[in-house]
Structure 1
């Protein structure tokens, strides 16, 4: 019996790991496909609106099927739509309009360090040594990515947008995990995604003002590093692969793996985006930036991998803060050493 349960658990984690990797790859291609559309004349907010609205229409049948969520989990649906959908995508697309795709995504993965810094220095609550190390590494890596010795070479507003996307990304992992341990009462992840996209589309309709969208851009081609690609094809990739497939696989993987593990695997998104931007957009990073990017990911990995002992505290979501407790210090210290 124990062997059978263990085997089923390992198989479930294996499936979850595969879904998490697939989600990271799908999300990683969004910026590469969106940047040519932005350079062709579409406003970044309009690209986000198109992405979220068309994805919401694709998921609309699932929203109707899971309409009971409107009564049972309204706060979850609104929060997921505002942070995990509208917030992350709007700020990320705004940032890539002002800086390279890879840099914007690397800054987005400062999310765990941002939250840990807030808790430690603003709320004055203790964090584990491994988490603090993750913060130091991530901040040091950030300094290399933006090349502070050159006087902050990147656009300051683009930097603010990327950091805002990092804050919203925390909400994506935290909200994706809600109800994962509730058994039969857990909200269906597909229903949460469907209503999250609907909420995001409504919010973005107010912010982006799509009635001013230049639809003629979609009838022409966009330049992909010297190659003419139909704009509608790039939009189709963004909607179906980088949104619908990415969100579905991502949320389901969080349920199977736990937010910290899924968050670590999601760091592959930055690697995928960097490689695709290099190959398809011709965006090259300097050696210090590549080293800094690796350090940022390492810091995020350590911060997200540090979890409290089982039963000692609430589960730690990606980007949330592992706290030091009096009871399980020995087990927590062992985990820190392993990290």
Structure 2
């Protein structure tokens, strides 16, 4: 059994790997995360700043999940470093660093660099924790990265800025923390409680940058359009907070605990495909032949990566694991 994460009162129960349910959670998470850009677009088009939209997203999730945080207050007391790190890195860090990066480098390049997070996960597991990484997971992630490059057509409008690249790499590291921290929770920690406390931390941190008192609140009362439908701006903000943040993170954690960080990282690239397809269907943003090819490569990489997970729970002590199966959860990923 793994040693306790610093700040926890007891040893965590390792998560059980299970491919079918893990894939179901991963696909649902990709759909929920992938819709964030589409549902943010009406608010952005109405004149709201991107940082304001991001703050609305995490603050909305924090407000919606406040009853969960109150009901599970012992989680914050038992594992304070985990909930703090989750709010700082996966929930606030990815957003803030990515938005800072796209002010200096093209969006496609910034997104590609950010999605190097699963590659960093593989490097962390292999180099730092010296954990065996399945070849299928490596191949899947490499294919997925190549597919993202095709999907975003990063060679067009290529312009690199050292600070912008560094910021995007910071977003990638924060994304890697999402996979590693989620795997460190164990079966004895409620993932929804961690999301609840993490969103509270992120709302406070991003609030200092977004300055919500300057937010044009009137936009939330005005009608906005999406896919030929009109609805109040607050409905888009509610969807961002409830589905694209609270539900998406919960589903993502559930997927990681069942698939392992390295495998879930390969499957998570489906989020990019989901975002592009939803933008095509709801916003009329047409796909080029190269983007269709990129989507196919990403899906292929995800399918290869998930084969590294056993289709049944990880065997107990004394039982030989299935060939090619993930060895299970190793030591806590939070660095000393």
The 8 Å contact of residues 35 and 96 in structure 1, kept in 2 or not, is answered as no
Cα drift, residue 244 of structure 1: 1.9
Residue number in structure 2 paired with 1:192? 194
**Whole-angstrom distance in 2 between the partners of 1:118 and 1:14:** 26
When residues 105 and 303 of structure 1 are mapped into structure 2, their CA distance, relative to the original with a 3 A threshold, is: farther
**Whole-angstrom distance in 2 between the partners of 1:155 and 1:225:** 35
- Superposition CA RMSD, Å: 4.3
Post-superposition Cα deviations, 1:176-227, rounded to whole Å, max 9, x if no partner, equal 111315xxxx222222111111111111111221121111121223343665
Q: Please, which moves more after superposition, 20-29 or 199-208?
A: 20-29
Post-superposition Cα deviations, 1:279-313, rounded to whole Å, max 9, x if no partner, equal 11122232223323443555566568668977979
Residue number in structure 1 paired with 2:115? 109
When residues 190 and 299 of structure 1 are mapped into structure 2, their CA distance, relative to the original with a 3 A threshold, is: same
Q: 2:83 aligns with which of 77, 81, 106?
A: 77
The 8 Å contact of residues 26 and 246 in structure 1, kept in 2 or not, is answered as yes
The 8 Å contact of residues 144 and 269 in structure 2, kept in 1 or not, is answered as no
Cα drift, residue 38 of structure 1: 1.6
When residues 136 and 20 of structure 1 are mapped into structure 2, their CA distance, relative to the original with a 3 A threshold, is: closer
When residues 192 and 283 of structure 1 are mapped into structure 2, their CA distance, relative to the original with a 3 A threshold, is: same
**Whole-angstrom distance in 2 between the partners of 1:79 and 1:305:** 30
Q: 1:24 aligns with which of 30, 40, 65?
A: 30
Q: 1:287 aligns with which of 281, 286, 289?
A: 289
**Whole-angstrom distance in 2 between the partners of 1:251 and 1:126:** 22
When residues 31 and 175 of structure 1 are mapped into structure 2, their CA distance, relative to the original with a 3 A threshold, is: same
The 8 Å contact of residues 95 and 104 in structure 1, kept in 2 or not, is answered as yes
Cα drift, residue 172 of structure 1: 1.2
Alignment of 1:42-191 (within 5 A): 42-91=48-97, 108-116=114-122, 133=139, 137-138=143-144, 140-147=146-153, 149-152=155-158, 164-180=170-186, 186-191=188-193
Cα drift, residue 45 of structure 1: 1.2
The 8 Å contact of residues 117 and 135 in structure 1, kept in 2 or not, is answered as no
Instruction: Find out whether 1:36 has 2:38 as its counterpart.
Output: no
The 8 Å contact of residues 25 and 255 in structure 2, kept in 1 or not, is answered as yes
Structure 2 alignment gaps of length 5 or more: 1-15, 310-322
Residue number in structure 1 paired with 2:219? 217
Please state whether the residue corresponding to 1:222 is helix, strand or coil.
Answer: strand
Q: 1:255 aligns with which of 257, 265, 272?
A: 257
**Whole-angstrom distance in 1 between the partners of 2:113 and 2:227:** 24
Instruction: Find out whether 1:276 has 2:282 as its counterpart.
Output: no
- TM-score, reference length from structure 1: 0.71
Q: Please, which moves more after superposition, 227-236 or 29-38?
A: 227-236
